[in-house]
Amino acid sequence: MLSDLFCFEMRYHVRQLIFKVTALLFLALGVLCAQGNFGGNTVHTNSPYVVTYITGLLSLFTIFVSTICCASVVLRDTTYRMDQLLFTTAVKKLPYFLVRFSALLIVVFMTLILATAGIAISAWGINSGQTGIFRLSFFLQPLLVMGLPNVLFVCTVIFCTALLTRSIRAIYTAGVLLYILYSIAAILGNSPLFASSALKTGTPDPLSLLVDPFGLAIFLGDTRLWSDVQRNQQLYELKGLFLQNRLLWTALSTMLLFITYKAFSFRLHVTIAGKRASAKATPVAAISYTPVSSTVAGYRYHWNSFLSQCRLEVVQLFRHIPFLVMLALWIFIFAIELKDTLYSGAYGVQFYATTGFMADALRSVKPAMLLIIFYTAELADRERSNNIASLLYSTPLPDTMMWAAKYSTLVILVITLITANIGIGISLQVSNGYYHIDMLPYLSLYYYSGIPLLLFAVLTLFIQTLAGNKYLGMVLNMFLALLIISSRRLGIEHYLLRYATAPDMTWSDMNGFGHYATAFNWYMLYWSLAATILSILTVQLWQRSSYIKQRFRLLRFQWAVAIPALLYIAVGSFIYYKTNIEGTYRSAKAQLGWRLRYEQQYRAMADMPQPVITAVRTHVDLYPGDGRYTVNGTYQLSNQTTVPIPELWISIDPEVNSCHISLPVAANMTYDPVFKQYLYELKKPLYPGDSLQLSFTMEIIRSGFTDLNKEHTVVSNGSYVELEKFVPSLGYNDRWEVTDSVTRKTDGMLPHVALFSTDSNYHLIDYETTISVAPDQQVVTVGQLQQTWLKDGRRYFHYKTPAPINFMFAFAAGHYALSKEIYKGITYRIFYHPGHTQNLAAMMQGMKDAIDYGSEQFGTYPLKTLTLAEIPHYKGAATAYPGVIFSAERLNFQTNFSDSNKVNYAYGTTVHETAHQWWANLLSPADQPGKAFLTETLAQYTESMVLEKQQGRTLLRKYLQNDNHLYFVMQDKNERELPLVGTVGQSAVCYQKGTLAMYGLKELLGEARLNNALHRLLAKHAYPHTKARATDLVKELYATADDREIRHINDWLQRTFIYFQQISIRSCERQKNGQYKLTLEINIIKQDLATGKESAPDDDIDIAVFGHPVEKWQTSPPLYLQKHHFSDSKTLLTIQTDTAPVTVAIDPYCYIPDPDQENNIATL
């Protein structure tokens, strides 16, 4: 009988329309996910890494599948009130339990199998160009170790909830609870699926990883450092923490099943009547019949009907216990996530709990889409499920009122969720001692967060009505929600095609949601008109509408939809003009094709001799209200080559809307409108040493309909433009080339070869500019302010450089307050947003300390001023220009560095950018491999030295530890790592690894010898000498080094070594003389990333013994600290200390690149 019951249950499941649609959608999801570039461009679509990743990710969506299947099939007896009949049959409790659960488990697992089949289909047919060797184990193993335990846990929770409550709403609650449980575990486990995780420097403890029921945090953490070869060939083994995680949640699932089997009652629930009241019934007086007149038409009737129905729906919502549970869980998860964002920023920094920060963190409420899907299904099907649809639709109540009441309930749901988020934000502010609460950013969430959700609610109500089946509608709505969220990744990029979606907005205290605010308004109007059409369609398709004649319904629809349809087209046309025509929009694919064609067409001309620019004068008019600015400029050009120049090649940046070039000495002009390239034939060649003048006029529109470029923003307050990148340039521009090897191969191009200049001469310019802005704004740019004046309602600022500079000039404009100090004859100024004063003292001190250190060690600072200006928080931290630093508001002005036990990154970043006054401005490297080593790496080194002097070596340990961690996290897995002196790109090498290398050289040579080498480099290669190459610094280091030191210099700068270090304590014995004898085992492996070869070390490495645990190292010096030479992979070392040791460490200051520093410390 058991087999018959099981076969019947399986047939019932697979015959459901919901299962067929879900199976098809999961197959499609597998195909689509395989196009998602999981793991990088060189990782195969059918690799075990990709299959495991997608399987784990899609197992999250089986929560929804399990919820739907359980509600529609497992509880069918209760839903259709057949349980009374079931309990009279010969079916026993155990067979019932086993059959229902096993069928649910198999059906849900089948959908995951189909998703995996979709990956295989995509690999074979659609994306065959990125497919590796097919092995069945690559698909089966992820299904068994990642998919099956996850599906088992999900089905167990949902099934047990169904049996114990017999409530569909409780099943929904359990489904939401599972999503929330995963979110909490992902936050605690620092899952890479959360955007901020990559820059977090802490390592999650094992317990945080074990509580992730889906195992994704462990998988992504363990495979973070896998090479592409490993990702393509290596199965993720079931061992260690991952094995423990699988066993833990499988055991919990089994235990929950056992408890549920014992607890649930396999009999009909009968309500026991209470004792009858013994008191005599009180007689009721008869009420005479009185006719009551009723009005079933007119405004008042419709309004009262709407209020009555709306009140009924809202009361049902808020009296709904599962809803209250989900609301409580919503508050809980958002509070945890917001607190994590507040306390765990990049590099482990903590932000001030400003209202703007809170509003920005709370703006995205995509999880609310899940609740809307659930409650739309409940609302749309309420009358039908309670068997009162026929009765209700026999009344004269219009369908419009029914739709409006149900939609209004969803509106109240959205308002409730946003209000809960605002309450979370205010509570966290108060708990952090921040009482300056500005309600305006919070209130804006009702618009910026609420409108997209309300538009989505219109869509879900339409789909639910169109489907005609509660569970089918839920499945379709979930698929549409995934499509909306993932549309960009699937190639649907234009916001005119992405329902209820607008560009992702970022809050800035300087200009609110400034850049995209206007565009957001238009996109919401556009999609609101689309939602209006959907609303009319929904009313036409409403349940009662089936009784209305088709001809009348069609006529009524045509008139009702005409106006919103026309407005929809008009608004869409306006957005298209602002985006595609005025904003020159290109999709990612089109932009990539443009860059490839540019290289193919023009790279062959890259060696065409061109003059150099020796002087620049510009007049800039900034119009933030219109999102645009204009530039009138002149170049003084000089032929500094040895040959005559007959043609002038001028390139215009794609972000420039219009440009007019004036060149009177030109005879003919050829213009390429696709790439905005001008080729001027001169009337007579420009001979060596001759000069000419070129004039240009540009207009640039940077409205919210264009993508945000953090280097090119025009906003109401805090405009920032790196102008040298957008004025006309001469010759070929290699920054538009495509370097990705897979893309180039796909388009039939040879591997990218970087284009370097052989010119090692400095070409400095005299720069002069006048910038006009609104009368209440100030301008900061390079040079010294000559004068400022008001004219025609605008304020003008005239700047001029006191000496020639590199071709670098940017400006910022905003409503600034000013902090100013004069120290050792240099004027220091910080232009900041009023109220952002928390870190001013640290940043001012950072500028002064960096100038002091650089002037003492490398050479005198050449200017009399140094200015820092705050710019809005977008991406990045800061950037430096001659005499000017532009610093992002959040990372530097709004970060809480009050804890003296943590690295002050506002101070450190300011030191770094000030160091660029030497390492980029005074010494500008030649355009050769390793040029970033001479700028960013040396600025990082200066930052670390100043930090060490001001905050101590123990605190610097945390700084170096963070860089060590981030170096491995940010490594580019798609290309071979280059050594520091030969790096091209690879920011993790020149920033993070460069810091470690320079500190290692300081330990090897000593600070004085290293700085002397840098001083000599600057003296030999600053203007007017030739530019330096990375090898020039190597030569300066060689000059005073012996053979052993030269070998280590080569290891740090010309090789790509990383280390795997481990220390353990063999024994610790107290001697008769009171000393302690420690026997340590040291294991070290040295790996060359260029070859992958591992070898024994040949290095001097620090060994330290401390009398305190790690967290107290800052206040207690080591009992023992000495370098030991290691030449074997395994070494036994004996150390004696006078005081009882607590911890021992290898490389205690963390400057040796090691992917796992957890085992570099051992505790007794």
Contact 890, 510 (CB under 8 A): no
CB atoms inside a 10 Å sphere around CB 1078: 22
Identify the burial level of 90 via C-beta atoms within 10 angstroms of its C-beta, where 0-12 means exposed, 13-18 middle and 19 or more buried.
exposed
Instruction: Give the pLDDT confidence of 613-667 residue by residue, as tens digits.
Output: 999 999 999 999 889 999 999 999 999 999 999 999 999 999 999 999 999 999 9
Which range scores top for mean pLDDT: 210-219, 271-280, 1031-1040?
1031-1040
pLDDT of residue 514: 79
**pLDDT for position 552:** 45
Q: Which residue has the higher pLDDT, 550 or 254?
A: 254
Distance, CA of 384 to CA of 676 (rounded, Å): 63
Which pLDDT score is estimated for 848? 97
Share of the chain above pLDDT 70, in %: 91
pLDDT number for residue 709: 87
Residue 1161 pLDDT: 94
CATH number given to 928-1055:
1.10.390.10
Q: Which of 181-190, 218-227, 751-760 has the lowest mean pLDDT?
A: 181-190
Q: What does the pLDDT read at residue 275?
A: 44
Among 19-23, 801-805, 962-966, 986-990, the range with the most confident prediction by mean pLDDT is 801-805
The top-scoring range by mean pLDDT among 114-128, 199-213, 831-845 is: 831-845
Rounded distance between C-alpha atoms, residue 843 and residue 877, angstroms: 13
Mean pLDDT of 179-183: 79
Whether 154 shows a pLDDT value over 60: the answer reads: yes
Contact partners, residue 871, CB within 8 Å, separation at least 6? 510, 718, 720, 812, 814, 886, 887, 888, 889
Question: Rounded distance, CA 1040 to CA 807, Å?
Answer: 35
- The model carries a pTM of 0.86
Residue 775, pLDDT > 90, answer yes
For residue 197, pLDDT over 80 is answered with: no
What's the pLDDT band for 990 if we cut at 50, 70, 90? very high
Q: What is the pLDDT of residue 619?
A: 98
* Domain boundaries of the chain, sorted by first residue: 2-263, 299-431+442-492+519-576, 928-1055, 1057-1164
pLDDT at 408: 93
Closest C-alpha among 762, 1151, 815 to residue 956: 1151
Q: Is the pLDDT of residue 44 over 60?
A: yes
3-state secondary structure of 660: strand
- The CATH architecture to which 1057-1164 belongs is Sandwich (2.60)
Q: Which residues contact 319 (CB under 8 A, 6 or more apart)?
A: none
The pLDDT tens digits for 862-898 are 999 999 999 997 667 899 999 999 999 988 999 998 8
Mean pLDDT estimate for the chain: 88
For residue 203, the SS3 value is: coil
Cα diameter, the chain: 122
* Residue-level pLDDT at 547: 46
- The DSSP 8-state label assigned to residue 952 in this structure reads -
Q: What is the predicted pLDDT for the residue at 539?
A: 86
Pick 968 or 225 by higher pLDDT.
Answer: 968
Q: How many whole angstroms separate alpha carbon 360 and alpha carbon 445?
A: 9
What is the predicted pLDDT for the residue at 1074? 87
Q: Which of 146-160, 276-290, 982-996 shows the lowest mean pLDDT across its residues?
A: 276-290
Whether 276 has a pLDDT exceeding 50, the answer reads no
Residues 6+ apart with CB under 8 A from 335: 424, 427, 428
Reading the block at residue 749, the tokens are 């191009």
Query: Which band of pLDDT confidence, cut at 50, 70 and 90, is reported for residue 909?
Result: very high
Q: What is the pLDDT of residue 193?
A: 61
Residue 546: is its pLDDT beyond 60?
Answer: no
Region 815-842 average pLDDT = 95
Helix or strand holding residue 799 (H, E): strand 794-800
Name the residue among 1065, 1006, 1059, 1066 with its Cα closest to residue 1037: 1006
User: What's the average model confidence in pLDDT over 168-197?
Assistant: 73
pLDDT at 125: 67
| Per-residue tokens: 1085 | 């492996």
pLDDT confidence bin for 86, thresholds 50/70/90: low
Query: Does 40 have pLDDT greater than 70?
Result: no
Q: Provide the pLDDT for residue 141.
A: 93
Contacts 24+ apart (CB under 8 A), 163-167: 163/97, 163/260, 163/264, 164/260, 164/263, 164/264, 166/75, 166/78, 167/322
Q: Identify the band that residue 837 occupies on the pLDDT scale cut at 50, 70 and 90.
A: very high
Q: Which are the contacts of 529, defined by CB distance < 8 A and separation ≥ 6? A: 564, 565, 567, 568, 571
pLDDT recorded at residue 763? 95
pLDDT at 724 over 70: yes
- Please write the tens of the pLDDT for every residue from 489-512: 778 899 999 999 998 888 899 998
Share of residues in the chain with pLDDT > 90 (%): 54
Q: What is the mean pLDDT of residues 321-336?
A: 78
Q: Residue 594: pLDDT band by 50, 70, 90 thresholds?
A: very high
Q: What is the pLDDT of residue 378?
A: 83
Q: Which residue has the tokens 């996109």?
A: 523
Predicted confidence (pLDDT) per residue in 428-460, tens digit: 999 888 888 999 999 999 999 999 999 999 999
Q: Give residue 815's pLDDT.
A: 96
Place of tokens 């989505």: 456
Model pLDDT, residue 842: 95
- Strand 1094-1095 and strand 878-881: pairing? unpaired
Predicted local confidence at residue 871, as pLDDT: 95
Number of Cβ atoms within 10 Å of the Cβ of 508:
24
Q: What is the mean pLDDT of residues 1014-1041?
A: 96
pLDDT tens sequence across 209-262: 888 899 888 888 888 777 778 888 889 998 888 999 999 999 999 999 999 988
The predicted model gives 1100-1120 an average pLDDT of 88
Lowest mean pLDDT across 85-89, 591-595, 771-775, 841-845: 85-89
Res 1112 pLDDT > 50: yes
